Amino acid sequence: MESPVDSAVRLLSASDYAVALTGAGISTDSGIPDFRSPGGLWNTFPAIFGDYHSFLTNPEQVLELGRVLLPLLFSAVPNEGHKAMKKLEDLDILQAIITQNIDGLHQMAGSKTVVEIHGTYKTATCLGCKRAFTLPELLPLSSSSLICPDCLGIVKPDVVMFGEPLPEEAFSQAVALTEQADLMIVAGSSLEVIPASHLVTMASRNKVPLIFINKSQTALDKLADIILRETISECLPHLVALVRKEVIPCESQ
């Protein structure tokens, strides 16, 4: 009987248009806490700190969260899981990464097509005059307030909060990629957050094989074709090494 690892290698080796959906679990080995596991952010801070409507009335909550999270984001570097995704791209198997993460580590690892459906911490926008802020421009504001120097409006980091719609262009791109996929890898996501989880439902409905790599159960495990209950930074490099052995000889013949 074929093992889950062997099945994953077979599917990856045969894929021409794999797409990955990644969540916080792929970045925990880079020192960035996830949200829902023991020791995660929502066990340290009330979840209301990430609520959009709460932010509008009390933006100082985000400042408190940022004082803990920003130093971790600044010091983080891609781990072996991020690097393995880049290697799958180099093998022309992985065509795009759809990520729920705001940390930019996939790009830092060299991945070319990364769709950030939950935004990024590296930019911000004034809710009043719509002025765009780079991270160097935002940092002085985040030390004491989030007030726009131009119009005195609230400056919001370009991170999607609870109760806020996803960036329309990014999510449309994610849907289009999912529609093209012949394989989806789901790595490090609990799949409890919508509409990101709808991408997995869509892939399943399209009969696209699903490989889940996650240390704990997800909300959509029943849809997975293969579940690898392992640490991503260990499991994914192992898979890629096995896939490379399958793919490179075929390409050189």
Reported as a single tens digit per residue, the pLDDT across 47-66 is 888 899 999 998 888 888 88
Amino acid residing at 176: A
Most distant CA pair in the chain: distance in Å? Answer: 66
Position of tokens 């490090």?
188
- Rounded Cα distance, 155 and 138, in Å: 8
Catalytic annotation present for 118: yes
Catalytic residue among 53, 82, 106, 118: 118
Please state the φ and ψ torsions of residue 180, each to the nearest 5 degrees: -85, -20
- For residue 249, the model assigns a pLDDT of 63
How many residues are recorded in the chain? Answer: 253
The answer to whether 13 touches 175, Cβ cutoff 8 Å, is no
CB half-sphere exposure, 71, CA atoms < 13 A:
4
Q: Tell whether the torsion through CA atoms of 114, 164, 51 and 36 is positive or negative.
A: negative
Q: Give residue 97's pLDDT.
A: 98
CB 62 within 8 A of CB 49: yes
Domains of the chain: 1-32+78-118+166-253 (3.40.50.1220), 35-75+121-159 (3.30.1600.10)
pTM: 0.94
Which residues of the chain register pLDDT less than 50?
A: 250-253
Instruction: Report pLDDT for 65.
Output: 85
Q: What is the pLDDT of residue 38?
A: 67
Q: Residue 226 CB: number of other CB atoms within 10 A?
A: 19
Predicted pLDDT at 62: 84
Reading the block at residue 38, the tokens are 């023991």
How many angstroms separate the CA atoms of 206 and 97, rounded? Answer: 19
